[in-house]
Amino acid sequence: MTSLHTTRVRRRRLGTLAAVSGLLAALFVATPASATPDPGDGSVSGEEVSGSERAEVRAAIADGEIPGVGEIAHSENITPVAHVPHASGLPGTNSDIAFQGRYAFAGNYDGFVVYDIRRPESPRIVSQVLCPGGQGDVAVSGDLLILAVDSSRSDDSCNSVPQSASIAESWEGIRIFDISDVRNPEYVAAVETSCGSHTQTLVPDGRNLYVYVSSYSPSASFPDCQPPHDGISVVRVPRGAPERAELSSFETLFPEGGFPGDDSGSATTGCHDITAYPALDLAAGACMGDGILMDISDPARPYVIDQVQDAEHFAFWHSATFSQDGSKVVFTDELGGGGGPMCNPETGDEFGADGIYHVTGRGDNRQLVFQGYYKMPREQADTENCVAHNGSLIPARGRDIMVQAWYQGGVSVWDFTDSSNPREIGYFERGPLTEDVLSFGGSWSAYYYNGYIYSNDQAGLDVLRIDDRRTDSAERVRLSELNVQTQPSYR
């Protein structure tokens, strides 16, 4: 583990710029052969920027407008307390995070890492599971961990190799692990799903655990991923017998078709991510060209209540987060697929951003009503991939506050209590990886769990603490388990 020693060197608009030595671990970006083209969560590697853009980056660093290579910046209410470098046994891209008790389970395109976070100021790696298959989205429930596989493989084993999705025998879907012994997770089952699993959402239902599998981009040449692919796979996992997990159904969400696509927005051919709120029997789906609200009162048969589009501003509906009372939904737009520099002046503040919607009406007449956009206000260099990505609520009493990852834009804490006037209240970020090449890096997921913020950055696991009167009440909230895409009722 690398500790964080910071030295204030100059002031920024929102806080301090700190020189940090040894923080940026070697960046490894895995690009497993995907079964489907992936306009979301993409990566770039070694794309050289123009001479004028290089000059702008260097000038911004020299003027203190952005942190330099090897430096971090953070607002005064954010304290970086620990950093664990990228796990050497899993060279792939770091992805999602799930939590249970004293452990954090961090996904990776090559498997997952288990961290002991009992002492947040000194987390340590407990185990690493090498089981390639991108994108390594993780979720935990009891003794079970579900791992998403969105890379067409030769078989369902951890020893599989990439194999074209045009071959009928190829496999992709979800893998199920027994984590009763976190030091030695055991692979117990796998379920193949149409177009694989880009992400998955857990919906508990008594003795069964339902898994909503989001995937997209079918092709007539893929035997197991045929058009129109206008819905989600639902997998039933018996808690007491996970080896009997099976595909329960494929639920059509867009019987009349979703957004058809245009020059700036993706056509809807499935969903990217779904967030369930089981206590309210609701789920919100980010489905490429559409945002949807669903009734999940029967977890095995979810159905759409309302469907919205934003062809003018949203390019790729990526993820969703409910407010604590379920009266709002924040949708994110992953403009550029996560690989582009979308936090620069040219892109503006309403693209590659978050859209805030209110949930109005009752029952099946509920609707999503747009209120405003949020984009982190700190401009980034043209060598930094930056766009809205994965985040969670900070359960502060009487306020709607999120923490959110923005790739190389870092971690943003923002308040959307006033839906039409959201604003950033804290941040943490690293400087660009380079001054002359657009490279993939930064925070994929940033979540609040039991008093601390955990960020799965490509440099490794960051642990942050926020000290702010607006969020102090959240410190009293303690959870035994957290999957951000299965939103708990903090009330």
- Report which residue type is found at 345: P
Amino acid 446: pLDDT:
98
Amino acid 22: pLDDT:
28
pLDDT at 73 over 90: yes
Confidence of residue 42 (pLDDT cuts 50, 70, 90): low
> How many DSSP H helices and E strands does the chain contain?
1, 34
* % pLDDT > 70, the chain: 91
pLDDT at 26 over 80: no
Amino acid 43: pLDDT:
58
Amino acid 60: pLDDT:
80
Confidence of residue 12 (pLDDT cuts 50, 70, 90): very low
Confidence of residue 45 (pLDDT cuts 50, 70, 90): low
- Quote the tokens at residue 259: 């957004």
Return d(Cα 425, Cα 417) in angstroms, integer: 12
More confident residue, 49 or 31: 49
Amino acid 54: pLDDT:
77
Amino acid 57: pLDDT:
80
Neighbouring residues of 476: CB distance < 8 A, sequence distance ≥ 6? none
Task: Give the mean model confidence (pLDDT) for residues 356-362.
Answer: 98
pLDDT tens digits, one per residue of 409-428:
999 999 999 999 999 999 99
The structural domains of the chain, ordered by start, are 7-482 (2.130.10.10)
Amino acid 44: pLDDT:
54
- Quote the tokens at residue 402: 């999120």
pLDDT tens digits, one per residue of 284-317:
999 999 999 999 999 999 999 999 999 999 999 9
Sign (positive or negative) of CA dihedral 314, 317, 322, 326? positive
Burial of 327 (0-12, 13-18, 19+ CB in 10 A): middle
Of the listed ranges 30-44, 239-253, 341-355, the least confidently predicted one is 30-44
